[in-house]
Chains A and B, each alone.
Chain A
Amino acid sequence: MHILVPVKRVVDYNVKVRVRSDGSGVDTNGLKMSLNPFDEVAVEQAVRLRQAGQASRVTVVGCGPAVAQDVLRTALAMGADAAILLDPGPGEGDAPALLEALSRLVQREGVDLVLCGKQAIDDDLGDLAPMLAALLDWPQAMSVNRLELIDAGLRVHCDGDLGLEQWRLPLPAVLGVDLRLCDPRAISLPNMMKAKKATITTLALAELAADQAARFRVTGCATPPARTAGVRVDGIAQLLDRLRGLPAFGA
């Protein structure tokens, strides 16, 4: 079984993000960048499956400029077998183009299972896994917090609207994994040294995606307004009055 893990380079969770003064986006200059924690869990799970003999190969794929190689090297140091960087060229790499490229890559590389983080901590969109599953017309499960391979298929536990759901899926499939799935390992110094020397294949996004037309445009970026202090009310009656006055109650 060949597992593909798409990974994203994001601002580290310990960094308090700041918006560029011209409102064009988030200022990441010189700040700590990391492998998206949800993707890190996906890599860990994939490597564990290979180490348990249930998968034969783990490939990680990222999209971005050359600096994005660092998170691919982190994944290699965790135990991934191969890494591919999709170079979007001068553009930012629109999501539909990336998805088209990923679906081509899945077919080209003979992938049986795509393990995604269920969301990236920068935009929190969580769009990649469901959109990729739709494009491939593969079964999908999101917010997976437990995973077993049985009878040439998958049994997963997911968060659902009504609580914990258990699903059985045939392969191939796309999963979006939650942080609870497993704890990523601390990468070791010898594995870092190996990962430093490993070859990362770079492919032009345009090579894999015919349709490069940008469908998204960032119109602005702003810091959320600071929260105002709470108020003390005199009693239940006043509290209910205040609650009824909230917009959600149609006031």
Chain B
Amino acid sequence: MQSYDAIVIGAGVIGSSVAYHLARLGAAKVLVLDRLQIGSGTSTQSSGILRTHYSVIENVELAKHSWSVFNDFAGYLGDEEASAGLVKCGYLICAPDGPKLEPLRAALAGQERMGVEVRLLDQAAARELLPIAQFDDAALIGYEPEAGFADAYLVATGFARAARRQGVKIMEGVNVERLLMENGRVVGVETNQGRFHSQTVISTQNIWAGDIERWTGVPTPVKAERHAVLALEGPEAYSFKMPVFKDLGSPGMLYCRSYGGNQMLVSEGTVGETLALPDNEQGDISMDYVVEVGGQVAERFPSFGEAGLASSWTGVYDVTPDWNPVLGRLPDVPGLVVGYGFSGHGFKLSPGVGLVLAQEALGLPTEVSLAPYAHERFRSGQLLTGRYGLGAVS
């Protein structure tokens, strides 16, 4: 019989981070099981944006902690070859007069209260940072210098390698088929490669978290939502020095970042296409959609009105009713800790989430209180809905 101190289901950015932190906090025997390969689920589809800007203040704390890890990834992991692929270009966010203005003002003030450096810029200063954009409609512009983007696949594999160095066993191609229960508590998992035993199982299954509902009967308030990302090749460079940009004034609440050279990575920050079943396969992107998003881009970046479509792809979010994750124990299933429902903003939280879920699993005090993220909130109605409405900006 194979017995472990903890078993983690899923080796994406969250699962790999949990595994690393379990080992770092002293768990001797940790097993990670992934149905395919490290980072091959939804992690690699991430746009990789890192910011602490949130209208939900709890997220600022998790994101702030996570940023400190991204900012010194090699040092944090004690692995000088590790890299998160971090491009520290800052994060610019703007809103015109209208319903997003006060939420933006409040969120920027919230960040400042949490000790995050944010600057309010006038239109001229914003143009200096992002000369390819126009800000004529901007009533409020916030800039967060300690932000940017990174590479989710590098982060998942970086955490996984650091975890392995600390003795964690990661098995790929192992599909968990059900939880093993004894006297009402979790005692392990059954897989297509046999049984593995542990008193602590941590599920980080993202869009496949519906498995938990099938295994335990406890509802998983998550739906799989497909979002499209475009790489537009413009006539002028969107350089690595230019900040990530969030456009609260556009109908799709666009986010944009450099994709190298003259290319801009752009996607909508609103509601996507709900899938009947969880599936991270590449979905169809219609020309109508490309033209629609391209039109929005051209409003903000006039020269990109002539841009070409260099590539496009889809990623899938595990969306909860309030667009924020469920973190912590499921009270009805002793021995089970969950982290799911990241709703498209899990990557930027992954180091912090890995830490707090590992702490929770080991019975230690958590760096950030998990109470607001409890599954219970969907019964009590104490939702974490952000002030920008539904969408990954949260």
**Chain B proximity of A183: nearest CB distance (Å):** 12
B282 lies within 8 A of A189 (CB): no
Known: A14-B282, A32-B314, A189-B298. A70 touches B287 (CB 8 A): yes
A192 lies within 8 A of B282 (CB): no
Known: A16-B281, A188-B307. A70 touches B291 (CB 8 A): no
Query: Which of B's residues lie within 8 Å of A, judged by CB?
Result: 232-233, 275, 281-288, 290-291, 294-295, 298, 304-310, 313-314
A70 lies within 8 A of B286 (CB): yes
A33 lies within 8 A of B284 (CB): yes
Measured between beta carbons, the chain A residues less than 8 angstroms from B308 are 185-189
A12 lies within 8 A of B310 (CB): no
Measured between beta carbons, the chain B residues less than 8 angstroms from A14 are 282, 313
Measured between beta carbons, the chain A residues less than 8 angstroms from B285 are 32
Task: Write the A28-55 contact mask toward B (1 if CB under 8 angstroms, else 0).
Answer: 0011110000000000000000000000
Report if A196 contacts B (CB, 8 A). Answer: yes
Assign chain A's interface to a size class: 20 to 34
- Residues of A58-79 whose CB lies within 8 A of B: 70, 73-74, 77
Report if A203 contacts B (CB, 8 A). Answer: no
Report if A195 contacts B (CB, 8 A). Answer: yes
A195 lies within 8 A of B287 (CB): yes
Per the bound structure, the CA–CA distance linking A98 and B341 in Å amounts to 48
A186 lies within 8 A of B284 (CB): no
Per the bound structure, the CA–CA distance linking A163 and B147 in Å amounts to 53
B306 lies within 8 A of A190 (CB): yes
The 24 listed contacts between A and B (C-beta, < 8 Å) are A12-B282, A14-B313, A16-B281, A30-B283, A31-B281, A31-B282, A31-B283, A31-B284, A32-B283, A74-B287, A186-B233, A186-B309, A186-B310, A187-B309, A189-B232, A189-B298, A189-B305, A189-B307, A189-B308, A192-B290, A192-B291, A192-B294, A196-B288, A196-B291
Report if A135 contacts B (CB, 8 A). Answer: no
Measured between beta carbons, the chain B residues less than 8 angstroms from A185 are 308
- Residues of A192-220 whose CB lies within 8 A of B: 192-193, 195-196
Per the bound structure, the CA–CA distance linking A78 and B273 in Å amounts to 28
A189 lies within 8 A of B287 (CB): no
Selected contact of B281 from candidates A15, A186, A188, CB within 8 Å: A15
Per the bound structure, the CA–CA distance linking A12 and B285 in Å amounts to 11
Per the bound structure, the CA–CA distance linking A186 and B232 in Å amounts to 9
Selected contact of B284 from candidates A16, A32, A187, A190, CB within 8 Å: A32
Known: A192-B294, A195-B287, A196-B288. A32 touches B282 (CB 8 A): yes
Measured between beta carbons, the chain B residues less than 8 angstroms from A30 are 275, 283-284
B306 lies within 8 A of A189 (CB): yes
Measured between beta carbons, the chain B residues less than 8 angstroms from A188 are 306-309
Selected contact of B287 from candidates A12, A18, A192, CB within 8 Å: A192
**Chain A proximity of B103: nearest CB distance (Å):** 30
Measured between beta carbons, the chain A residues less than 8 angstroms from B275 are 30
**Chain B proximity of A79: nearest CB distance (Å):** 12
Q: Which residue of A lies closest to B226 (CB)?
A: A30
Measured between beta carbons, the chain B residues less than 8 angstroms from A18 are 281
Q: Which residue of B lies closest to A77 (CB)?
A: B287
Give 8 nearest A-B pairs by CB, closest first. A186-B308, A189-B294, A32-B282, A188-B308, A15-B282, A14-B282, A186-B310, A32-B284
**Chain A proximity of B290: nearest CB distance (Å):** 6
Per the bound structure, the CA–CA distance linking A192 and B309 in Å amounts to 10
Measured between beta carbons, the chain A residues less than 8 angstroms from B304 are 189
**Chain A proximity of B317: nearest CB distance (Å):** 16
**Chain B proximity of A216: nearest CB distance (Å):** 27
Q: Which residue of B lies closest to A195 (CB)?
A: B287
**Chain B proximity of A185: nearest CB distance (Å):** 7
**Chain B proximity of A103: nearest CB distance (Å):** 30
Measured between beta carbons, the chain B residues less than 8 angstroms from A33 are 284
Q: Which residue of B lies closest to A191 (CB)?
A: B308
Measured between beta carbons, the chain A residues less than 8 angstroms from B287 are 70, 73-74, 77, 192, 195-196
Per the bound structure, the CA–CA distance linking A188 and B285 in Å amounts to 15
**Chain B proximity of A112: nearest CB distance (Å):** 30
Q: Which residue of B lies closest to A71 (CB)?
A: B287
Per the bound structure, the CA–CA distance linking A133 and B307 in Å amounts to 38
Per the bound structure, the CA–CA distance linking A12 and B313 in Å amounts to 10
Identify 13 new A-B residue pairs, CB closer than 8 A, beyond the known A73-B287, A190-B305: A14-B282, A15-B282, A18-B281, A32-B314, A33-B284, A70-B286, A185-B308, A186-B309, A189-B232, A189-B294, A189-B304, A190-B306, A195-B287
Per the bound structure, the CA–CA distance linking A31 and B233 in Å amounts to 24
From A74, A185, A188, name the one whose CB has the most chain B CB atoms within 10 angstroms.
A188
**Chain B proximity of A37: nearest CB distance (Å):** 13
Q: Which residue of B lies closest to A13 (CB)?
A: B282
Measured between beta carbons, the chain A residues less than 8 angstroms from B282 are 12, 14-15, 31-32
Measured between beta carbons, the chain B residues less than 8 angstroms from A186 are 233, 308-310
**Chain B proximity of A92: nearest CB distance (Å):** 20
**Chain A proximity of B41: nearest CB distance (Å):** 13
Per the bound structure, the CA–CA distance linking A77 and B282 in Å amounts to 23
Measured between beta carbons, the chain B residues less than 8 angstroms from A189 are 232, 290-291, 294-295, 298, 304-309
Per the bound structure, the CA–CA distance linking A30 and B284 in Å amounts to 6
Measured between beta carbons, the chain A residues less than 8 angstroms from B298 are 189
**Chain A proximity of B274: nearest CB distance (Å):** 11
Per the bound structure, the CA–CA distance linking A14 and B306 in Å amounts to 26
Per the bound structure, the CA–CA distance linking A32 and B298 in Å amounts to 25
Per the bound structure, the CA–CA distance linking A185 and B310 in Å amounts to 9
Task: Write the A91-113 contact mask toward B (1 if CB under 8 angstroms, else 0).
Answer: 00000000000000000000000
